Amino acid sequence: MAKLWTMILAHFEQVKDKPVKVASEYLHTITRDWSELDATDKFGNEDPAVVTLRAWQFTKGESSIKRFGLGSKKAKLSREELALDRHVNETTQQYVDRINGRSVALMPDNFFPSFAHPSTETRDFRDIFWATVSIKQHPDYWVHRYMRSAGWDVDRAFVMIKGIIEWRATEAIDKIICEGEIHSGHDEQRLCLSQLIGRDRLGYPLMFVRVRHIMPRANEGFVFKRYLLSQFESLQVVTRRFGRVTMLYDFTGFTMDNTPFTMVQFMVFLGRKVYAESSSVLILLVDSWLFTNFWNLIRPFLDANLSARIIFVKDVSEVRQFIDEDQLPKELGGTNTFAAPFKLPEEGENAKMFDLDGRKVAETEWRRRIADFESLTKKWCDCLASTSRSTEELNKLAAQRDEAGREVERAELALNRFTR
């Protein structure tokens, strides 16, 4: 562990003046040409919702209308086509704006990564590393995850960490975290494709995924990918202390349309690399011969580590080996009556995100705690490498470093009220 931290800290120095350029495929703005929308039906009756939309467009201007973007190109649509397109592509922000007939300020529009590095065009490697790592109870927890994934090969673990942090910087994952479900697909949220519903028998949080509800073919590719990223990032918060989550995939009634090849590849990429070692087990409830085709798609992309966590079950009785009946949802024959329909965000609930002075104070404290941890980590690594070290000195440094790591988490908790 000490050798890996030494490599990470050294890399910070090597790249401190080399920001990573953002080129994210998940931050596209989609627009529609609403000026040609006909507000009358075939009987000549006006649709009040469309009339309101057109009037609002004329008063608010083109830039505001971008929130209603629902396709890959500007297009002239009939009301029927518009309704269908809206149904499958609308984000939560777009939906809230539409039903209110105005722009609803759910969160600040002027996102910036940090006060120290405010540019939205680039990201600082060290900042992205600590924004990712400090969400865990201790920084070692996150680093240790990649050590396990790399088979305890330090050099390989460092390459993995370096690549993942650069990917997160390039794809502006911090912006996706900040925007959360607000700029994620409304349909995906409304259908409750995935939900935390309880715990497994080992006490790990239980994520239930309804595969038959997944329809990525109905969306632009990046829309569903962004939803997946948002869900995985939420799990990182939930597993702050638990470390891992058990995932139950219900394949009952699924078709191959629910699992297109590009989405399967992306999900495996997230599970293997970006969020390595995040899952306890993946339980796949399968009742269809179609699953053979699905499994043939994903098997070549799985490594031995992830494959070992996958458990196939044919019916609910087999699921109960891992999850108690009172934790299983009623739709699978359990007694868990958990139901949490997606609640639309409301104006004012993210008031802290508009408090820039408070965010600046919290960010300053966060950076101070990180600097303390880095300093103590360097001393700890040097002490371990020294041939003249004393056990008392090493234990003292280790204790100080552990407490500094917990202070980093506490500082992150204070900061994320302004950034999540």
Distances (CA, A) of 272 to 87, 216, 232, 294, 333: 32, 21, 13, 18, 31
Question: What are the tens digits of pLDDT across the range 87-114?
Answer: 456 788 888 888 888 888 999 988 899 9
Give the integer Cα–Cα distance in Å for 329 and 208.
9
Look over the chain and give the mean of its residue pLDDT values, rounded to a whole number: 80
pLDDT attached to residue 237: 83
Strands 245-250, 205-210: pairing kind: parallel
Give the integer Cα–Cα distance in Å for 391 and 259.
55
φ/ψ of residue 401, rounded to 5: -70, -40
- Does the pLDDT at position 412 exceed 80? yes
Range 253-275 average pLDDT = 79
Strands 194-199, 205-210: pairing kind: antiparallel
Structure tokens of 52? 């309101």
Give the integer Cα–Cα distance in Å for 123 and 107.
21
pLDDT attached to residue 46: 47
User: Does residue 138 or residue 362 have the better pLDDT?
Assistant: 362
Strands 310-313, 20-21: pairing kind: unpaired
Range 122-146 average pLDDT = 91
Range 160-180 average pLDDT = 92
Distances (CA, A) of 150 to 278, 301, 335, 385: 14, 16, 40, 23
Nearest by Cα to 218 from 70, 339, 394:
70
Per the CB < 8 A criterion, the answer to whether 26 and 222 are in contact is: yes
Question: What are the tens digits of pLDDT across the range 53-68?
Answer: 333 333 333 333 232 3
Q: 205: which strand partners?
A: 199
Strands 279-285, 205-210: pairing kind: unpaired
Per the CB < 8 A criterion, the answer to whether 53 and 93 are in contact is: no
* Chain position carrying tokens 């917990």: 406
Give the integer Cα–Cα distance in Å for 11 and 29.
34
Give the integer Cα–Cα distance in Å for 319 and 333.
11
Give the integer Cα–Cα distance in Å for 109 and 93.
11
Range 257-280 average pLDDT = 80
Alpha helices in 310-390 (DSSP H): 316-319, 356-385
pLDDT attached to residue 359: 95
Give the integer Cα–Cα distance in Å for 404 and 240.
17
Nearest by Cα to 376 from 334, 351, 348, 406:
406
Range 358-370 average pLDDT = 96
User: Does residue 160 or residue 214 have the better pLDDT?
Assistant: 160
What is the C-alpha R_g of the chain?
A: 24
- H or E stretch at 418: helix 391-419
Question: What are the tens digits of pLDDT across the range 379-409?
Answer: 999 989 887 888 888 999 999 999 999 999 9
Hey, what amino acid is at 77? L
User: Does residue 266 or residue 161 have the better pLDDT?
Assistant: 161
Structure tokens of 148? 């396990």
pLDDT attached to residue 220: 67
pLDDT band of 19, cuts 50, 70, 90: very high
- Does the pLDDT at position 80 exceed 70? no
- Does the pLDDT at position 31 exceed 60? no
Out of 270-279, 357-366, 399-408, which region has the weakest mean confidence (pLDDT)? Answer: 270-279
Range 233-253 average pLDDT = 83
pLDDT attached to residue 78: 46
- H or E stretch at 169: helix 154-170
Distances (CA, A) of 241 to 23, 108, 132, 351, 380: 32, 30, 15, 27, 24
Collapsed DSSP state (helix, strand, coil) of residue 16: coil
Nearest by Cα to 73 from 36, 30, 35:
30
